Structure 1
Amino acid sequence: MEIEKQPSNKLILFGLLLGLLVSSLNQTITVTAMTTTVSWHWLFFVNLPFGVSAVCLLAIGHRENRIKHKLIIDWPGAITLCGSVIAILLA
């Protein structure tokens, strides 16, 4: 019997969801502590390096496919979506 070396998709999904849960709880606690002790302006200065590094990594690592596809618009769906968004905004 051979042990799989690749984790299953369920384990990967579980790890991602657990990481999301932990990070969201950590962010909530950290932001609450920072806004009560110092002003909210410091949150901008703390998050600025993370945002700049994310943009730089995206610019370096993202490779876009240049394959041209014919644009097909779902007109009934687009009209329904626009009508529902307008109805929600006016409600």
Structure 2
Amino acid sequence: MTETEHLLVCLAEECAEIQQAVTKALRFGLQDNYKDSTPAQDIARELCDLIAVVELLEEAGVIKKTGTIDAIERKKARVWHYMEYARARGTLE
């Protein structure tokens, strides 16, 4: 396995861990305190871990984050657009 492949595996693992934290929040609530941290805290921690791996991929020259600010703003606009569409369709409160 190359260093790039290792980092890509780490990226996939972090994405899966975010998914797990989000599903627990949906099942039990963001502020559930069953263990030492809440699902909200778990999501924040996993997102930080993901950002760290993304930065390592960038430092290794595997990805380039050029233009990400614009891309992030476009994604936010799409999410808000579809939230309003879902609200209009009656599927979002």
TM normalised by structure 1 equals 0.40
Greater length-normalized contact order (CA 8 Å, ≥ 6 residues apart):
2
Give the TM-score, by structure 2 length: 0.39
User: Which structure has the greater CA radius of gyration?
Assistant: 1
